Each structure stands twice: as structure tokens, then as C-alpha cells.
Amino acid sequence: MRKKNPPVWALGMLQFFCKDRYLEQIEGDLFELFDREKSTRMARWRFGWNALRFFRLRYLKGLDDFEQLTTLAMIKNYLKIAIRTLIKQKSYAGINIAGLAIGIASCLLIFMYIAHERSYDNFYPDVERIYRVGVGERGAYSPPMLAKTMMQDLSQVEVATRIGGLWNTLFKIGNRSFMQAGAAFGDENTFEVFQTEFLYGDPRTALNEPDNIVLTESLAQKCFPDELAMNKTIEIDGEVYKVTGIVVDPPKNTHFPYQYVAASLEPGHNNWSGNSNWTYAKTQPGSDPAEINVRLQELYYKYVGPELMSFSGHSSFEEYMEENPNRYYGFSVHPVLDIHLRMPRLSMGPRGDYKNVIIFSLIAVFILLIACVNYINMATARSAIRSKEVGIRKAMGSHRKNIIIQFLVESMVITLLSVLIALIISGVSIDYFNELTGRQFTINDLFTSSTLLSIGILLIIVGLLAGVYPAYIISGFSPLKALRGQMQQAGKKSLRSYLVSFQFAISIFLVAATVVIYQQVTFMQSQNLGVNIDQTLSIENGNELGDKYEVFKNELEKISGVQHVAKISNVPFSFVGDWTYHVVEDNNRDIGPSNVFTVASAKDVLDLEMVSGRFFDDNRVTDTSAVIINESFATELGFDDPLGKVLSRGRGLDFTIIGVMKDFNYASLKREIEPLIYRYGNKHSEMGMWHQRYVIAKVNTSDILRTLDEIEDLWNQHVPNYPFDAGFLNEYFQNQYESERKFGQVFTTFSVLAILIAFLGLFALTTFVLQKRVKEIAVRKVLGASTSSLLGLMLKDFTRLVILGGLVGIGVAFYWLEEWLKGYNYRIELSWYLLAIPVVLILVLTWVVVSLKSYKAAVANPSDALKEE
């Protein structure tokens, strides 16, 4: 009786794991039991089950059950040979390892940076459902009522919160007071959206009362060093708060690095016009952001529309929108995960840049490539030395495959050593790297699982990249020729030349970028701004002076060296909000200029130039309803004579234009000068006391420190409870170019590294070429060649390579830098000499390196070289 066969999987499995020695008897017994069973299904099931039961340590195949014992032994031998070769050729190994280590260290640091940049905010639970609500294309702030209304009107929104921040505030605890950064206010839903671990307090109720405040662990420690901060009171900018929660500190990789969150007052119910909050919403699982955007548009029509119409006098909002299609500033959602890299302007913390991440990665890859090229060049150039070894191995029966493995093992050993040194280099240079990137990495960040993984991947990639080509070439040697003592030069000389050119191209590209970036930064810094910000002191928190400003001003002017004093709501190069004005003469137009409040003396402090009309006059009462605009605003208005024209804020707030200022840069030079409006500042103006947020003064003195001390004393007399905080406008201006300067530093650093590695390689290659040509040089010398002609002979080859690399490098640099400069409104033009500098620099360096090495050979006594043989 023939039954069906036992399950194939069970047999296969048994054969896979079971030692051959036991396999037959076990299979036999299983077959016997199988045949005994009556029902086929049962038999098959039993067979499988029993086979599984044999999965015991005793029967499992061990290492000695594999046939490739010899492979292991050979790899041991390869390792031994690799280490011996390294020791025998110390200088070459050193150059290779140093180059690779620098390249790998750069890669490692940059990997760490990229991993960090991409990790922003991903620690919040459900972060993929958290969105930031922005206004139109550029508005980061949104109306206070938005969060509550979204929760009520939009079914897709699970919870929404409004947040303000981050500011510096004055803390008072007992008789201690200090300025505290990282201040935010939130509402009862803040910690529902951003779920955070509470050490004390209840996340659901912590911000329910208007005097509640949640501190981070570290701030709680700072405020109440030896006691529990819960339920203690703190006075912040004059308001008393009670601590109702303590949370763990937010990690470094967040766009919202708060130190505390205070509860805020309920917003006014029809407050839709002012954009003063950040709004965040957590959506219901599975809801579509596009759909939410549509619903948000409806919301905009319903709530914001009526307010806009109060300026324009249209009968319906639809009509208004039809006539002003470009005025739509509706709400839209942006994923919080995108804030750091894609929408850094929405961030409250460190800002990322997507382009920087890409550029950093490319530079890291370039440097690594240069180092790999060194390895390839040196390995193939010196392959002749190994040819006897390869010949003997082949004669003894090595396959080509074995020899390839041997040389790969060798490159892996070198890479491994480089990785170890790279770890040390990265650890040592981490502070410098932090300065370059503006982040705070620690040595621990080098040993996270993700960086360790990237180290492993780097090890394999670099080992293969550097090792495969030389291994392939060297393994192709003919054993007959090798053993007969015929020198075999592996690899084509032309390939080596191209690789060296490639190195030069990368170096030249990096130097060109460095030069141009620095030129651009210097250019921007030396621009005529149209406004005089030299020696202009800006005292912050002027609003704290209150009505005492006049007294303060008079006394300030008495200090020797202080020439003019004024108050202003926004100093140039700080953030300026844009407000909407309605052009009365031209019924359907609104303009949103940057809006600044100031007084008459600002003209003297900032050296403002008038094109037409006049500046404010403190003695004319009517100037409270007068405004001064800049040329760019006047152009946008388009009137022949803007003087006397009226701009309206709605609700009867009308302003007459009394003067036009010459355009000056008040924001970044990356942008064109945009419309600007100056309004007269007093405490009854729309901004209240914030109109005097800054007190600015022209200070002209030889002893700046003493003058500053006197000003500080004066401040402390008038505002004893608020610390003095002042800076020079020049510094604000310079700070704007911080990111460009960092960018320049990055390029400088990496071009120096790239050049260093490339020239290490060049040095080694020159040495080798000279060794090979030592007889040729000697013969030439005997026949009458001069030292200089011999040097020229050596230089000619390398000069050709530099020029070839220069053409490629400059071509790419030209294209890329032109793109980069397009991002700047005030920019330099690329000129031929900017791009020629790098080529000349590299050429000179090459000549120096090659001549240094060659000179010795050129002046040597030819008989030394020729007497052998």
C-alpha cells in the first residue's frame, strides 16, 4: 500500500539543521512512524511535529560541520599578511590611514548632524498628526481665537492650542530676581497637543487657571534649589504665578525649546485681526490635511472676512475676494515634523536648513572620495612590490578570487584602523563642529545606535570602494612574469591621472566656494545701508520706563558722548511686523507695510534722509495722525505726489502722509527693501507702551565702557526692578549674516581638509614616481640635463592634471555659486579672477610639494643611482 509522502518542509528543515551523522537514523525512524500511521493527514502532522522535536542542541550543525574550515584559516593568514605589509610600509600606510581617518571623521560628524536635523520633534507622541497653522504663505503668527474656533468648528481637529513665545522675562522669587529665557504661554490644551512627561502635577489641569505655570525640571531646580517647586509662587514681569506642574526638559531637537509655559488670559471673542499667537492642532487619526485646509478657508471667510470688510466697505466678503484675489491670507496647516528643516521661519528654537543638510552631505562624500582615491592610487602604484607575493600565491594554487579577498581584507584592515582614529578625531573636534553647526553635540552622541550603524556601513562602503579596484587589478597578475622578476605595473597610468585630477577638481571647487561666500558676506556687510547705524546704542525694554521716558531721555542726553536720543518700536534688523493699511483715495487697495512707531529725534539718531515732505515734529499735536513712508511704499502707492494722501486702519483711524524717506535697509540684504511706514509713537497709539520698546541713542565717545556704565546706572535709577539690556545696532546687523559666516566657515574647514588629504596623496604619489624614474633622471643628468629642466619634467605632468581638474572644478563651482547668489538681492558678480584664485592656489601648492620631493632627486649624484647593477 503506497501512502503519500511525508511533508517536504519537515524533511528539508531536518536536513538543514541536523548533523549529517545523525540524519539517517532520525529520518529512518520518522519514516517508520509515518508508515505506521493510518490517516495520511495525521501521519504528516506527526512527522512534522516529531521532526521539530529533534531541534535540539545535540543535533544542530556546528561550526565544524561546515566544509570551509580552510577559508577561516586563509582569512587569518590574510590578516597576518595585511598587518605585516602595513608595518613594512609605514609611511604609505600612515598617509592612507590619516587621509581615510579625516574623511571618515568628517562623514561621521556630518552623519550625526544629519540624523539630529532630521529628528526634530519626532519624540512627541502622535507627532505625525500635529500641525502648525499658518496664515497665507508667509504668516507664522495667527489670531488668538483660531485654536478654540478650530476645535469647535472642525470635526477633523482633535485638540488645538495657542502658544506664545519665546521671550525673556524677569523672574522674582523672594528677593532674588533674574532674567529668564525660554518663556512661553499656552492654554489648557498645550500639553494635550505636545504630550510631555509630568514629574509633578496633572497635564490635564495644570494650565486651567490664569495664574498657573508649568516649569521644566531644570528651571524648577534653578528657582527653588532645595525644595519642591510645586504650589510655590513666582512673580514674572509683575504678575504672580503659582507652579502647578513640573515637566521634564524638552530635548535639544525641538522647535519649541521652552523653559516654562504660563497660562494665558482667554482671548477676546472677536479678536481676529491681530496675528499674535502660534496655533497648533492635533488632528483626528486618518484626517486629510488638504481637507482641513478647505475647512480652514471656510473658517477664514466666516470670521476674518467681516473684519477685513470693515476697512473696505464691500457688501460681501466674496465680492472683496473677487476684487482682491491676491489678498487672500487664509489659514493652512503645516506638519510640525517639517518645521525644522522645511519651514524654519516657523521655529521658536534653532533653525535648520534643508539645503545645508544636502550640502553638508555632499561635502562629506567628496572628502571621503578624495581619501579613497588616495588609497586606490597608492595601492595600484605600489602593486609592483606585491607582484612576487601574488605570483607565489598563484603558483601555490590560489584562485584569482582568493587574491581579491586577500586585498579586500587588507583594505578593510586599513579602513578599520582609520575608523578608530576617526572616532578619536571626531571626539576631539566636536566642540569646533558645534561652533560650525550651531548645535550642541556631546561625545555621547557619537555612540548612539544610529551613528554606530553608520560607522558599520561606512566601514564596508569605504573598504570596498577603496579596495575593489586595486584588488581586481593586482589579482590579474601573471604568475609567470611575476616570478621571472619582470616588473608588472598594475592599473593604467591614465586612470591614476584622472583620479588625481578629480581630487584637484574637488579641492578647487571647495576653495572657489569658500572665496565667493566670503566675498559675498563682506560685500553685504560693507553695503551702504542708507541709514547710519554706527555707534548707535539700542536699549531694550524701553516700555518698562513707562511715562518716565522723557526724564530718562533728558538725563541720558546730559551724559558726555551721548548725542541724540529717540524711542522706537522696532530697531532696524530686528523683527518688524506688517500691518494692513487701506488706501483711501483708491478704494479697493490694501498695502501691508512693515510698521514702526517712533518720534522726531529718530531722524537724527539714524541719519534718515528725506526725499520729500518732512519728518515728525514733537510739537505738532496733529502729527499723531501723520505717517512717513519710504520710497518703496511710495512706488507701490503709485501716486505722483503721495504727500497729503490718507491711509486708513479702519474704524476711523486715518493717517496723512507727511513725508517720504529715502529707502534704507531695515531688514536683511537678502531681500529687496520692502514698504515701510513710520507712525508717531506715544502711549495712546495702537501699540500702547510697546511703541517705546527700544530707546536708541547716538553715542560718540572714546571711553565707551565708562559711558555704558553711566547709562546703566541711569537705567537702574529709573527702572530698578528690570535689568539693563543694551546692544549696538551694528551687532544686530552683523548677526544677520551669522548663517552665511557659518556657511563660509564650513567651506573653509572642509576645503582645508580636502586639500590636506589630496596633498598627502600627491606627496606619496610623487615619491613613488620618483623612485621609479630615478634611473631615468640619472641618465638624463649624465647626458647633460640641468636641475631646472629635470624639475620642469616632473612639474609638467602634475601641472597638466591641475589644469584639467581646475576646468572641471571651476565649471561646477561657477554653475552652483551662480545659483547660490541668486538667493541674494544684493550680490557680487562672479568674476574670472574670483574663480582663477583657487586654480592658482592649488597649482602653486602642487609645485611646492612636487619640487620639494623632486629637487633631491634632481641634484643627487647620478652615479649613486646608476652604480647598482
Cis peptide before 817 (omega within 30 of 0): no
- Which C-beta is closer to another protein: that of 35 or that of 738? 35
Classified as helix, coil or strand, 180 is: strand
- The number of angstroms, rounded, from the C-alpha of 579 to the middle of its chain's C-alpha atoms is 32
Q: What track of x and - describes contact with another protein for positions 643 through 682 (by CB under 8 A)?
A: ----------------------------------------
Query: Quick one: 36 or 822, whose CB is closer to another protein?
Result: 36
Does 54 sit near another protein (CB under 8 A)? Answer: yes
Residue with smaller CB distance to another protein, 26 or 803: 26
Region from 18-26, 517-525, 674-682, 810-818 binding another protein, contact rule CB under 8 A: 18-26
At its nearest, how many Å lie between another protein and the CB of residue 357?
A: 57
Contact (CB, 8 A) for 331 and 297: yes
Are the CB atoms for 205 and 213 separated by under 8 Å? no
| DSSP label at residue 124 | S
Q: Among all chains, which residue has been given the C-alpha cell 541713542? A: 697
Shortest separation between residue 51's beta carbon and another protein, angstroms:
9
Q: What is the DSSP code (8-state) at residue 300?
A: I
Shortest Å distance, C-beta 29 to another protein:
4
Do the Cβ atoms of 340 and 370 come closer than 8 Å?
A: no
Determine, following the binding rule CB under 8 A, whether residue 64 of this chain makes contact with another protein.
no
Residue 512 CA to residue 563 CA, distance in Å, equals 45
Cα dist from 608 to 7, 599, 603, 629, 663, whole Å: 93, 12, 5, 12, 9
Shortest approach of another protein to residue 54 CB, angstroms? 5
In the set 2, 38, 41, 56, which binds another protein (CB under 8 A)? 56
What letter does residue 668 receive in the DSSP assignment?
Answer: -
Which residue lies nearer to another protein by CB, 48 or 186? Answer: 48
Nearer to another protein, 36 or 176 (CB): 36
**CB contact at 8 A, 310 and 303:** no
Q: Which residue, chain included where needed, has cell 612590490?
A: 385
Residue 2 beta carbon to another protein: minimum distance, rounded to whole angstroms: 12
Q: Which three cell numbers stand for residue 226?
A: 532645595
Q: Counting contacts by CB under 8 A, is residue 38 touching another protein?
A: no
Q: Which stretch binds another protein (CB under 8 A): 31-39, 531-539, 704-712, 755-763?
A: 31-39
Question: Residue 14 or residue 583: which is nearer to another protein going by CB?
Answer: 14
Helix/strand/coil (H, E, C) string of 525-563? HCCCCCCCCCCEEEECCHHHHHHHHHHHHHHHHHCCCEE
Per CB under 8 A, 468 contacts another protein: no
DSSP designation for 585: T
Q: Which is nearer to another protein, 56 or 651 (CB)?
A: 56
823 near another protein, rule: CB under 8 A: no
Instruction: State the minimum distance, in angstroms, from the CB of residue 25 to another protein.
Output: 4
φ and ψ at 129, to 5 degrees?
-100, 0
Strand ranges (DSSP E) for 121-277? 130-135, 157-173, 176-186, 198-200, 212-216, 233-236, 239-247, 260-263
Shortest approach of another protein to residue 14 CB, angstroms?
Answer: 11
* 29 near another protein (CB under 8 A): yes
Q: Least distance (Å) from another protein to the CB of residue 59?
A: 8
Q: Are strands 589-591 and 536-539 parallel, antiparallel or unpaired?
A: unpaired
Distance of CA 605 to the CA centre of its chain: 37
Nearer to another protein, 57 or 621 (CB): 57
Nearest distance from C-beta of residue 4 to another protein, angstroms: 13
**Residue 638 binds to another protein (criterion: CB under 8 A):** no
Q: Do 693 and 561 meet the contact criterion of CB atoms below 8 Å apart?
A: no
Task: Determine which residue in the list 3, 12, 28, 438 makes contact with another protein, applying CB under 8 A.
Answer: 28
Displacement of CA 403 from its chain's centroid (Å)? 44
- C-beta of 491: minimal distance to another protein in Å? 57
CB of 7 to another protein, least distance (A): 13
Nearer to another protein, 26 or 795 (CB): 26
Q: Which is nearer to another protein, 35 or 431 (CB)?
A: 35
With binding defined as CB under 8 A, does residue 31 bind another protein? yes
Q: What is the DSSP string of 811-862?
A: HHHHHHHHHHHTT-SS-PPP-HHHHHHHHHHHHHHHHHHHHHHHHHHHHS-H
Annotate 751-769 with DSSP letters as a single string.
HHHHHHHHHHHHHHHHHHH
Largest CA distance in the chain: 122
Looking at the Cβ atoms of 29 and 319, the one nearer to another protein is: 29
The answer to whether 27 contacts another protein (rule: CB under 8 A) is yes
| 26 binding another protein? (CB under 8 A) | yes
Q: Which is nearer to another protein, 11 or 114 (CB)?
A: 11
| Residue 18 near another protein by CB under 8 A | no
**Shortest distance (Å) from residue 32 CB to another protein:** 5
Say whether residue 25 binds another protein (CB under 8 A): yes
Query: In the bound complex, what is the minimum distance in angstroms from residue 69's beta carbon to another protein?
Result: 24
Instruction: Note whether 130 and 278 are within 8 A (CB).
Output: no
Cα–Cα distance for residue pair 181/165, rounded to 1 Å: 10
CB 397 within 8 A of CB 76: no
Q: Can residue 8 be called a binding residue for another protein (CB under 8 A)?
A: no
Burial of 827 (C-beta count, 10 Å sphere; 0-12/13-18/19+): middle
CB of 39 to another protein, least distance (A): 19
The residue within the footprint of another protein, chosen from 58, 90, 484, 651 (CB under 8 A), is: 58
Segment lying near another protein (by CB under 8 A), choices 21-29, 68-76, 332-340, 394-402: 21-29
Judged by CB under 8 A, which of 37, 50, 429, 434 binds another protein? 50
For the chain, first and last CA: distance in Å? 88
Q: Is residue 33 within the footprint of another protein (CB under 8 A)? A: yes
Q: Does the footprint of another protein cover residue 53 (CB under 8 A)?
A: yes
378-417 residues in contact with another protein (CB under 8 A) are none
CB burial of 756-794 (b: ≥16 within 10 Å; e: otherwise) equals bbbbbbbbbbbbbbbeebbeebbebbeeebeeeebbebb
Binding status of residue 30 toward another protein by CB under 8 A: yes
**17 lies in the site for another protein, by CB under 8 A:** no
Site size toward another protein, by CB under 8 A: 18
Among 20, 32, 64, 226, binds another protein (CB under 8 A): 32
Query: Which residues contact another protein by CB under 8 A?
Result: 6, 22, 24-33, 35, 50, 53-54, 56, 58
